[in-house]
Amino acid sequence: MEKITSTLRLRMSHKDAHYGGSLVDGAHMVHLFGDVATELLIKADGDEGLFLRYDEVEFLAPTYAGDYIEAYGEITEFGNTSRKMVFEARKVVAARPDISPSAADFLEEPIVVARAKGICVTPKEAKRK
């Protein structure tokens, strides 16, 4: 079977900032991983399925309002109804409020801000593929 992946890219806004200094909470990365998992299940099974559990979640670098995050996921193993997945969130643009309110740097080498592993399930009766 061919590799099934999904990538979402979006800008963190000031609405996403939860802490002082416009810091975005790590839970927001987990939320993005959930959206990536939904797309992966739709591609694989034709249904949104259900997230069963995260096996590991690591927060590796801070994310701030104005940063652009690329959330990536891949199905690594297919069970009868379960799908094992890996996720990675990478900062691809860094806000630079120290220069001006609208300054930002495109990062030639993205910064990994979070990683996770998880398992999702698509009930047999919901699978369309």
pLDDT tens-digit readout, 69-119: 999 999 999 999 999 999 999 999 999 999 999 999 999 999 999 999 999
Q: Which domain holds residue 32?
A: 5-126
Inter-CA distances, 126 with 3, 84, 123, Å: 22, 18, 5
118: which 2 tokens? 């998880």
99: which 2 tokens? 């220069």
Instruction: Report how far residue 108's alpha carbon sits from residue 28's, in angstroms, rounded to the nearest whole number.
Output: 24
**56-72 pLDDT, tens digit each:** 999 999 999 999 999 99
**18-29 pLDDT, tens digit each:** 899 999 999 999
Give the total residue count for the chain: 129
Q: How many independent structural domains does the chain possess?
A: 1
Q: Taking 70 as the threshold, does the pLDDT of residue 1 lie above it?
A: no
This model's pTM is above 0.75: yes
CATH of the domain at 84: 3.10.129.10
- At residue 34, the pLDDT reads 97
